[in-house]
Amino acid sequence: MKAIEASNLRKTYKGGVRALDGLSLEVETGSIFGLLGPNGAGKSTTVKILTTLSLADSGEARLAGLDVVRDAGRVRRSIGVVGQKAGLDPDATGRENLEMQAEIYGIRGGARRERVDELLERLGLAEAGGRLAKTYSGGMQRRLDVALGLVHRPKVLFLDEPTTGLDPEARTELWREIERLAREEEMTILLTTHYLEEADRLAARLVIVDRGRVVAEGSPDELKSDLRGDTVQVELVESSNGDAVGAVERLPGVSELTVDGRLLRARVDSGAAAIPSVISALEQGGLRVASATVARPSLDDVYLRHAGRSFQQADTDTKEAA
Amino acid sequence: MTAFRHTWQVALRYIRALLRQPAWVGISLVQPVIWLLLFGALFKRTADIPGFSSGSYIEFLTPGVVVMLAVSSAGWVGMGFIEDINRGTMDRLLVSPIWRGALNLGSVAQSVLSIAIQSVIVVGLSLAVGAHFHNGVAGVAVLVAVAGLLGAVFASLSNGVAVLTRQRETLIGIVTMVTLPLTFLSSALMQQSLLPGWIRWVARCNPVNWAAEAGRSAAAAHADWGLIASRTSFLALLLLVSAAFATRAFNAYQRSI
């Protein structure tokens, strides 16, 4: 049985904003699954529907075979959710936050004390457990949020943009914790992120979401190797001119050429073989090359290919629309 | 049993948060005292009006102030919900198997508890300045219970509006617009028989007036237990409706997010 199945989810918010436009996905039990996309792509809406918080206009979603609308009660018992916004109560201590969460799931008495101690210890909050959560650093608050999602040992854990707003150190630490959870607790984890490197590092499989639908699906490596060849990036000494760029574009095996000031990017079949001819084409056109690099395809390239725009561009578009 | 446990957990959370704000505790204790003394002094001569049946105005006023403080303090309860929604705490609770009714009832329980404490302080102060409560502890207990019931109704309404609007400003507007007129269109500050005819007529369907009537009767020399019972059951019925409204409001919230 799949841990999560969603088919053809659609949702339009009041005011006509279409958040989901026929999104479908399947997640295998016991894996980390990534939902990658720019802001406003529909990731959070998907999580809200899968976690019974929000209702889809149409479409179906099941968790471990249970319908998220009809069996909402049972679904809620088997999932843990770490939302994009902090769910913790800032006016309670870390321990009190966890105790209340445990009580809600019917964990009481000695079992409650044991579980709370264990989680505080495990997430590095043992010493801070007696302090009010509002005095915690951003990283500590996020860890307490994760602990709150884990109290009842859920089968499926949802992490909605778990590392947004964290400094690099806190982010790396949380990544390690997520990897440990997936490995040791055999938990299915669905993670949404708009950080390409986060999906690349954590997710065994991922879908790329754009404008409310899935535009690509696979493991990070599969997605990257679907893009044949490498990316060549050339930095020029002075700004480019049209003729020389045209000459590069006509070279065999070169595609998807983009120019940004003194920076040229292109997809080539084989980076090492293409570099000499690219450089000579540019120099014949009178352009001196400052540096040239070859890179294996990144998820950024995968995104560009499937969504038809670069990741940064999509993020900016969404912000401007909002 | 689960319903009770969940309600207690929610109540515990709000009570703890309140106790951690010493300023709030201080203000909420001082406010009703100021009302009692200020209104008591301002309208002292009311007792001289022909037809005024109570001994002193402050004795008459005490149940009225208790009812007023119940309405005014319960009206703001929804602010806590708006904060919880904005912070994400409410979403965390809504994806858990918590009994939906506990979210409102827990917050209501906290509100009723603080109303009860405030009421007892007002009664104590009133006794200290010479008022009499003719039915002793039983009368005072009924007064506090009626105030708590009225507070529970308004706290539920406030929570429901908070969930539906999710806007601080809207809630402030609605609470101000509703509570003050309801207080003045009742016998909280003035004897029913001395009210203008149209206000007396409006007051008949005003829950604040039901509480004022019942509370005052419980403290008076000849308590009318029939009236107390009928007004209390009106309030209890209204509480059922308003608590159902507050709990149902979450369905609308979940459709809108």
The answer to whether B118 and B73 are in contact (CB under 8 A) is yes
Q: Please answer yes or no on whether B257 and A104 come within 8 Å at the CB atom.
A: no
Give B134→chain A minimum CA distance, Å: 43
Q: Model ipTM?
A: 0.90
DSSP state of A87: -
Write out the E strands in chain A.
4-12, 18-27, 32-36, 58-63, 66-67, 79-82, 156-160, 188-193, 205-210, 213-218, 230-236, 254-260, 263-268, 289-295
For residue A107, the SS3 value is coil
By CA distance, what is B13's nearest residue in A? A92
> A78 in contact with B at a CB cutoff of 8 Å?
no
Residue found by looking up tokens 């951690």 in the block = B20
The answer to whether B63 and B219 are in contact (CB under 8 A) is yes
> A72 in contact with B at a CB cutoff of 8 Å?
no
DSSP state of A91: T
How far, in Å, CA of A51 to CA of A154, rounded?
Answer: 12
pLDDT at B257 > cutoff 90 = no
How far, in Å, CA of A142 to CA of A145, rounded?
Answer: 5
A289 CB contacts (<8 Å, ≥6 apart)?
A: A234, A235, A236, A237, A279, A282, A283
> A76 in contact with B at a CB cutoff of 8 Å?
yes
For residue A13, the SS3 value is coil
By CA distance, what is B94's nearest residue in A? A53
> A157 in contact with B at a CB cutoff of 8 Å?
no
List, for residues B53-107, the tens digit of each pLDDT value.
877 899 899 999 999 999 999 999 999 999 999 999 999 999 999 999 999 999 9
pLDDT at A233: 85
> A23 in contact with B at a CB cutoff of 8 Å?
no
Residues B143-166, mean pLDDT to the nearest whole number: 97
Beta-ladder partners of A264: A234, A259
The answer to whether A5 and A50 are in contact (CB under 8 A) is no
> A90 in contact with B at a CB cutoff of 8 Å?
yes
> B251 in contact with A at a CB cutoff of 8 Å?
no
pLDDT at A311 > cutoff 80 = no
B62 alpha carbon, distance to own chain's centre: 14
List, for residues A229-266, the tens digit of each pLDDT value.
788 888 888 877 776 778 888 888 888 888 888 888 88
Average pLDDT value for chain B: 93
> B256 in contact with A at a CB cutoff of 8 Å?
yes
- Cβ-based contacts under 8 A for chains A and B: 70
Residues A111-117, mean pLDDT to the nearest whole number: 97
Q: Which of B17, B88, B255 has the CB atom closest to A85's CB atom?
A: B88
Residue found by looking up tokens 């679907």 in the block = A226
Question: Which two tokens mark B38?
Answer: 């200020």
Chain A residues with CB-CB distance to B2 below 8 A: 106
DSSP state of A133: G
pLDDT at B142: 96
Tell me which residues of chain B, numbers 56 to 115, contact chain A at a CB-CB cutoff of 8 Å.
Answer: 87-89, 91-98
Give me the half-sphere count of Cα atoms (radius 13 Å) on the Cβ side of residue A239: 4
The answer to whether A59 and A22 are in contact (CB under 8 A) is yes
List, for residues A138-163, the tens digit of each pLDDT value.
999 999 999 999 999 999 999 999 98
B257 CB contacts (<8 Å, ≥6 apart)?
A: A48, A53, A54
Strand order in the sheet with A213-218: A79-82, A156-160, A188-193, A32-36, A205-210, A213-218
Q: Which region among A167-181, A290-304, B209-223 has the lowest average model confidence (pLDDT)?
A: A290-304
Predicted model pTM: 0.86
Write out the E strands in chain B.
none
Q: Which amino acid is at A83?
A: G
Which of A78, A85, A96 to probe the B interface (max B CBs under 10 A)?
A85
For residue A31, the SS3 value is coil
pLDDT at A187: 92
pLDDT at A149: 95
How far, in Å, CA of B61 to CA of B79, rounded?
Answer: 29
Please, what is the angle between helix B168-184 and helix B57-75, to 10°? 160
pLDDT at A318: 59
List, for residues B33-50, the tens digit of each pLDDT value.
888 999 889 988 888 888
pLDDT at A317: 65
Cβ count within 10 A of residue A272: 10
Residue found by looking up tokens 């509570």 in the block = B179
> A57 in contact with B at a CB cutoff of 8 Å?
no
Chain B residues with CB-CB distance to A88 below 8 A: 89, 92
Q: Which of B12, B92, B97 has the CB atom closest to A83's CB atom?
A: B92
Main-chain dihedrals φ then ψ at residue A236, nearest 5 degrees: -95, 160
List, for residues B106-129, the tens digit of each pLDDT value.
999 999 999 999 999 999 999 998
pLDDT at B206 > cutoff 60 = yes
pLDDT at A322 > cutoff 50 = no
B227 falls in which pLDDT band (50, 70, 90)? very high
B209 falls in which pLDDT band (50, 70, 90)? very high
A319 falls in which pLDDT band (50, 70, 90)? low
B69 CB contacts (<8 Å, ≥6 apart)?
A: B31, B32, B35, B115, B118, B119, B122, B147
Average pLDDT value for chain A: 88
pLDDT at A106 > cutoff 60 = yes
> A44 in contact with B at a CB cutoff of 8 Å?
no
B55 CB contacts (<8 Å, ≥6 apart)?
A: B47, B132
Q: Which of B13, B96, B254 has the CB atom closest to A92's CB atom?
A: B13
DSSP state of B88: T
pLDDT at A226 > cutoff 80 = no
Cβ count within 10 A of residue A63: 28
